[in-house]
Structure 1
Amino acid sequence: MIIAHLSDLHLGAHDPVAVASIAADVEAVRPSLTVVTGDLTMRAREREFRKVRELLDRLPGPVLAVTGNHDVPLVDWRRALTPYDRWKSWIDGDLEPVRKVPGITALGLQSMPRWRWKNGRVTSRQAGEVVRVLGAAPPGDVRVLALHHPPLATGTAALLGRRHLLAAVRAARVDLVLAGHTHVPDVRVLGHQVFVVAGTTTSHRVRGSSCSWSVISVDRGEIEVRERNLGPDGWHVGRVVHVRVSAGASSG
């Protein structure tokens, strides 16, 4: 199984070269699923969502996308009364979408409540949804959870509800947890789960690296994460991480 993992597009503060070239680079790996983990816009403006829609329509589908903190209006009446209306109109009417393709069951979680400005929260209800949806995936499916905020972040960046979410991830035998938010690519293993954070795919807001996205390959408990970085000559392979999960990814 191949999953394309993009994040933090920040259209409205984007690199035009990255936006123009990303769809072809993703298409070249022929993913079974494309996942975009939040901050698709810079300020949740209508024109930014329109650009996002145009980009998503060029990416190989199916696409699973979740909200980030930048996808909620910053300071106006919409944040209080209709914080997700533009997202629902332009991106997906379901804030917690499920995508099922042969060999993969994926669930997106909405980790950005309107009353938090940057850091995220996952409720006990959402943790239960992880168990309900991913715990019931067919034997042998790769079980994928996607959200904007990295569940393993600590300190002031810690995800509210983290303990309940991680317990649900274990109970549901999730293979991959995909996130963004930090703009710094990262791969970690906790128990039998692999946590992948993608960098910023198309924005100028890079932190110590270039625009990047991740190609994730899963085969019989072997997981390979290949970063794709944008350079002067286009996209190229960056860091490659191999993980062996003994009780296994896609073990059922």
Structure 2
Amino acid sequence: MTDGPVVVAHLSDLHLGAHDHRAVESIVADVARARPALTVVTGDSTMRARDGEFRRARELLDRLPGPLLTVTGNHDLPLVSWRRVLRPYARYRRWMTADLDPDRQVLGLTALGLQSMPRWRWKNGRVSARQAATVVRVLGGAPAGDVRLLALHHPPLATGTARVIGRDRLLDAIRAARVDLVLAGHTHVPDVRVPVPGGPVFVVAGTSVSRRTRQAIGCSWSLISVHRGEVVVRERYLRDGRWLTGRLVTVPNISAAGS
């Protein structure tokens, strides 16, 4: 437990290989100014899972303040090649991390990442029964008072054709583990939702440094602060070469943080 706020930097959809050079050059200093306890990158670090793109992603991530938690996205698997069948995660494991479902523990925070992109899915995600059980084991077993954070590429609240396979079991595990924050990406549009009052806050980060922007939002990342059960999300937007807070969302009285 910590007396001060727990600060998390949430980046996503870097798409190195289709990136905005201004965003790449400026985002490290903006994130560093926030002094996060943890930096989370929720997938699509590359555009086409090429070695050169992973090298660029690794160079950028190594400049961000640590500790770091990363997960795969659909663009982090080879698009069409034998590698997708036989060695879909080999380059990700080489350049990013060998652990596809990583966990991190820092003062006041227990975090878990899930690999939600199976090789047999083209774009949308899946969470297995084993992974749901891992959520309950790791986050449900977090020290009392810790903020409990889950990160994956695909937004668990998505419906229709974007619905995650295993969505119901994942949401059951999130409830059972009393997760406070669920971080995702994939949509390139920042969002904050609290489906159940007092329940977990679902935060989707935009595309942090890529040209693949949507809805005229531009590059963005999310700065999250948790203190005494209150979550504050500041969406940081790149405007004319400068990072500015474009939207601030405050959520009081989340389920477990600070308890």
The question of whether the paired residues in 2 share the 8 Å contact of 1:222 and 1:249 is answered with no
The structure 1 residue matched to 2:64, chosen from 54, 59, 66, is 59
Using the alignment, how far apart are the partners of 1:181 and 1:40 within structure 2?
11
The answer for the alignment partner of 2:220 in structure 1 is 212
Once the two structures are TM-superposed, the CA of residue 205 in structure 1 deviates from its matched residue by 0.5
Q: Is 2:186 aligned against 1:181?
A: yes
Instruction: Spell out structure 1 runs of 4+ moving beyond 6 A.
Output: none
The answer for the alignment partner of 2:106 in structure 1 is 101
Once the two structures are TM-superposed, the CA of residue 148 in structure 1 deviates from its matched residue by 0.1
Q: Is 2:31 aligned against 1:26?
A: yes
What TM-score results when the alignment is normalised by the length of structure 2?
A: 0.96
The question of whether the paired residues in 1 share the 8 Å contact of 2:227 and 2:258 is answered with no
Once the two structures are TM-superposed, the CA of residue 15 in structure 1 deviates from its matched residue by 0.2
Q: Is 2:158 aligned against 1:153?
A: yes
| Aligned 1:1-252 pairs, distance under 5 A | 1-191=6-196, 192-208=199-215, 209-245=217-253, 248-252=255-259
Using the alignment, how far apart are the partners of 1:155 and 1:198 within structure 2?
20
Once the two structures are TM-superposed, the CA of residue 245 in structure 1 deviates from its matched residue by 2.6
Deviation readout 1:87-109 (Å, 9 max, x if unpaired): 11100010010110010000000
Structure 2, unmatched stretches of 5+, are 1-5
Structure 1, unmatched stretches of 5+, are none
The question of whether the paired residues in 2 share the 8 Å contact of 1:218 and 1:249 is answered with no
Q: Which amino acid aligns with 2:143?
A: P
Once the two structures are TM-superposed, the CA of residue 210 in structure 1 deviates from its matched residue by 1.0
What TM-score results when the alignment is normalised by the length of structure 1?
A: 0.98
The question of whether the paired residues in 2 share the 8 Å contact of 1:222 and 1:243 is answered with yes
